[in-house]
Structure formats: structure tokens, C-alpha cells
């Protein structure tokens, strides 16, 4: 039976030996991301800044690119056009300009530009108050997700594992948020989904590696911690890289062939997969070296499980 191995079986990479360089690199990147977020901020979409939302049906199949150029020339702020349902159905989003046009005047300008025969299913105005509430809800969603993951890790493993997992997650989330600040990418509601997906993917990889470290602690309770973590990482390296590669290929196909809207959603997920895989291997696991894990707890677990097995056999 053919089995695909991107990493050969029995590798002995000294991953922990390179941890100081990798942790330093991760810390520098995170600090740069925080600096950009603090001084430059995020490029918020209409969902957060406020604007106008039109759900319309065009009389014929529209030229979306041409329509975007026409609406963009009105000076009403950024323009987002999305097809949904039939080809004639569009959702048009326009941000409010800095000069601040009157609501009725702005809506009438859009209608004049779209022309005759357009059916307006819905016309809404999103105010800045709603946008600020969405920002707070987004921050709460990410914070609650991190707290829930920390609780799960602490219950399943030990508190040291929980701290390392959260450090890796903060690293991942900081880089994703920083990406939206460094590059001219629009931060919308779907971006929050991408951040949460990244956190979920990263924690899944981290838990798999932590589980192997725990098993190795029970099996080799006299092995040096450095060698033990290296052994666990090497044993899970093939699985980690194969999972990351297949997932990355699937998301890449969405980015290349899914259109502009799907591409904007897929790009941060692709970055998140790479960053999450990096943090699971080079951040979360090596940090265990500095937190003085109590081996006696794992030795007791091993003895208790051995005694239970012996009693059942007898």
C-alpha cells in the first residue's frame, strides 16, 4: 500500500536546538505587527466604518467591473459589489466619504448612476455606532475563543501546556491582524472568521504534538526534556506537514478560482495555515523547555495505568 511521506520516517531534526532563533524571529515579527496595528490601524471595511448597502436586481447581466468604476467615481468612498443568486442580483456596498454627503443625496446619486429598470430590494444605511459595536463583538469573539481553548488545554494536559498553547495562538492572531494592517487588505466580518479558523487549525496541530509529548513523557520518564521534545516533534512532523500541505492546496484552489470575494477570504486562511504550523512546531513545543514540567505527575499516571491493567489481567 502506497503511503505519502513529505518528511521521511525516522528523522532526527534538532528542532529544539534552533528554538532560540525561531522564538526570537517570532517575537520580532509579533512586535512589528503590534507596532503597525497601534500606529497604522486596520483597513476597516464598510461593515465596521459604516456606509450604504443596496440589494438590487439589474435588468440585464451587469458588467461588474465597469459598474464598480462608475460608482467609485462618485466620491462616496470605497465600493464593494458582490453577485448573489441570479447573475442580475447584486449587493452594492459603499462607504461614506470623508467629506460626508447627505444620505438622500448619496442614495440618489447611486440610483442615477445605476440607471433605469433597476429593482431595489433593500436600501440600508450602516452607521458608525453599528460599526464600533461590530469591532467590539469581533474582539470579544477572539478573546472568548482563546479563553475556551486555554481552559480545554489546561484540563486535558497541565497548565504549562496551556500557557504554551496560548502563546502560540497569540502569535498566530497577531500576525494575521498585522497582515491586514501592513498590507492594503480590507478587514471585514469574514476576516474575523479567518482569524478564528486560523486559531482552530493551529490549536488542533498543537494538541496533536502535545499529546505525543505526554505519551513520550510516560514512556521515557528519564529522558532529557530537550531530547524528549525533539523526539515527539520528529514523530509528528510528517503528519503535521502533510496535513498543512493538503489543507493549503485546497484553500489555494479557492484563492485562485473562487473569484475576488472568495479570494479575500482565502488569503488570510492560507497565511494562517503557514503561521499556525510554524507556531505549533517552533513556538508552542519548545516553550515547554522553560516551564519546568513536573514529571512525577506523568510517572504516577503511568504507574496507576499499569496497576489497573495488572489487576484486570489477574
pLDDT in tens, 184-215: 777 877 788 888 888 888 888 888 888 888 88
DSSP-derived letter for residue 291 is S
Q: What does pLDDT average to over the chain?
A: 78
CATH no., domain 51-126:
3.30.70.3400
Instruction: Write out the residue limits of the CATH 1.20.1640.10 domain(s) in the chain.
Output: 16-42+131-303
The band of 286, judged by pLDDT with boundaries at 50, 70 and 90, is confident
Q: Which three cell numbers stand for residue 173?
A: 492572531
Given a cut of 80, whether residue 284 has pLDDT beyond it is yes
In order of 59, 120, 127, the CA distances from 124 in angstroms are 21, 11, 10
CATH 1.20.1640.10 is the classification of domain 16-42+131-303: yes
Round to whole Å and give the CA distance between 37 and 30: 11
pLDDT in tens, 210-246: 888 888 888 877 788 888 888 888 888 888 888 889 9
pLDDT in tens, 128-141: 555 667 667 777 87
User: Environment class of residue 4 by beta-carbon count within 10 Å: exposed (0-12), middle (13-18) or buried (19+)?
Assistant: exposed
Q: Which of 237, 221, 231, 211 is nearest to 306 (CA)?
A: 221
pLDDT in tens, 137-179: 777 877 887 788 778 877 877 788 888 888 888 898 889 988 8
pTM of the model: 0.73
The band of 32, judged by pLDDT with boundaries at 50, 70 and 90, is very high
Instruction: Write out the residue limits of the CATH 3.30.70.3400 domain(s) in the chain.
Output: 51-126
Q: H helices within the chain, ranges in order?
A: 19-39, 46-49, 64-72, 103-114, 128-156, 159-182, 189-219, 225-257, 259-279, 285-287, 295-313
Q: Which of 221, 201, 203 is nearest to 302 (CA)?
A: 221
pLDDT in tens, 87-106: 778 878 776 654 445 667 77
Amino acid at each position: 500500500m502506497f503511503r505519502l511521506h513529505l518528511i521521511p520516517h525516522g528523522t532526527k531534526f534538532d528542532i529544539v536546538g534552533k528554538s532560540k532563533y525561531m522564538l526570537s524571529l517570532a517575537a520580532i515579527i509579533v512586535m512589528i505587527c503590534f507596532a503597525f496595528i497601534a500606529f497604522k490601524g486596520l483597513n476597516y471595511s464598510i461593515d465596521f466604518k459604516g456606509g450604504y448597502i443596496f440589494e438590487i436586481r439589474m435588468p440585464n447581466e451587469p458588467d461588474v467591473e465597469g459598474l464598480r468604476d462608475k460608482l467609485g467615481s462618485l466620491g462616496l468612498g470605497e465600493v464593494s459589489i458582490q453577485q448573489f443568486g441570479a447573475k442580475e442580483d447584486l449587493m452594492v456596498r459603499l462607504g461614506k466619504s470623508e467629506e460626508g454627503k447627505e444620505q438622500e443625496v448619496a442614495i440618489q446619486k447611486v440610483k442615477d448612476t445605476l440607471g433605469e429598470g433597476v429593482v431595489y430590494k433593500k436600501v440600508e444605511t450602516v452607521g458608525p455606532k453599528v460599526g464600533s459595536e461590530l469591532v467590539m463583538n469581533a474582539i470579544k469573539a477572539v478573546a472568548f475563543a482563546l479563553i475556551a481553548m486555554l481552559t480545554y488545554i489546561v484540563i486535558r494536559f497541565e497548565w504549562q501546556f496551556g500557557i504554551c498553547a496560548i502563546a502560540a495562538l497569540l502569535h498566530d492572531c497577531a500576525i494575521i491582524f498585522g497582515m491586514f494592517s501592513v498590507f492594503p487588505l480590507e478587514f471585514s466580518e469574514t476576516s474575523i472568521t479567518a482569524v478564528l479558523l486560523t486559531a482552530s487549525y493551529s490549536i488542533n496541530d498543537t494538541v496533536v504534538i502535545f499529546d505525543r509529548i505526554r505519551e513520550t513523557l510516560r514512556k521515557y520518564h528519564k529522558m532529557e526534556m530537550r531530547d524528549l521534545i525533539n523526539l515527539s516533534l520528529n514523530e509528528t512532523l510528517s503528519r503535521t506537514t502533510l496535513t498543512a500541505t493538503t489543507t493549503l492546496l485546497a484553500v489555494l484552489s479557492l484563492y485562485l478560482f473562487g473569484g475576488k470575494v472568495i479570494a479575500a477570504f482565502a488569503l488570510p486562511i492560507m497565511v494562517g495555515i503557514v503561521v499556525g504550523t510554524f507556531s505549533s512546531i517552533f513556538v508552542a513545543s519548545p516553550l515547554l523547555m522553560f516551564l519546568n514540567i513536573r514529571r512525577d505527575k506523568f510517572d504516577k499516571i503511568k504507574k496507576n495505568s499499569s496497576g489497573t491493567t495488572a489487576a484486570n489481567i489477574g
